[in-house]
Amino acid sequence: MKPMAKRLVIRALRVQSCLKLSDEGKHEKWGCPEKCGQHTTAVPRHAEVTAGVLRGIITDLEVPAEGVAAMTTAETAGRLTYTARCHREGSWWVITVPELESGRVTQAGSLDEVPATVADLVATMTGADPASIEVNVKAPA
């Protein structure tokens, strides 16, 4: 496990349905009240979260294996990876990007258009460089 940008840790916590419970001092308190309401963790106010702290957050919140994968592979070699969950609606593909906290739904005319459409959406919502965005397209067969 490698250190991770705090913004990616926060994004991964939100994907796991966690919420910020308090915002005081040098840490933010996070928990997952929608799941069981019993688990909380502290996230330091630094631009980067160390691997050791990240392991502690995963342990504190009892994040499942697939959640750990989402948290630890969100940024690889300077590239940001986002999931594009696609389903057909009429002549359009409706795309949900679960890693985004808001503005997470868009559409495309074909599956070939999805990576560029999602990269543009992510860049618009996060300010990331579109060239650094990798898209993992998930669509029914």
Q: Residue 4: what pLDDT?
A: 83
Which class does domain 77-138 fall in? Answer: alpha beta
16: helix, coil or strand? coil
Rounded distance, CA 116 to CA 135, Å?
8
Percent of the chain at pLDDT > 70 equals 82
Highest mean pLDDT among 23-37, 42-56, 106-120: 106-120
Per-residue confidence band for 2, with pLDDT thresholds at 50, 70 and 90: confident
Higher pLDDT, 35 or 73: 35
- Rounded to 10°, the helix 65-72/6-15 angle is 150
Q: Note whether 130 and 46 are within 8 A (CB).
A: no
Tell me: domain 4-75, CATH 3.30.920.30, correct? yes
Q: Residue 116: what pLDDT?
A: 93
| For the chain, domain boundaries | 4-75, 77-138
Q: How does pLDDT run across 58-99, given as a tens digit for each residue?
A: 888 887 655 655 555 555 545 688 999 999 999 999 999 888
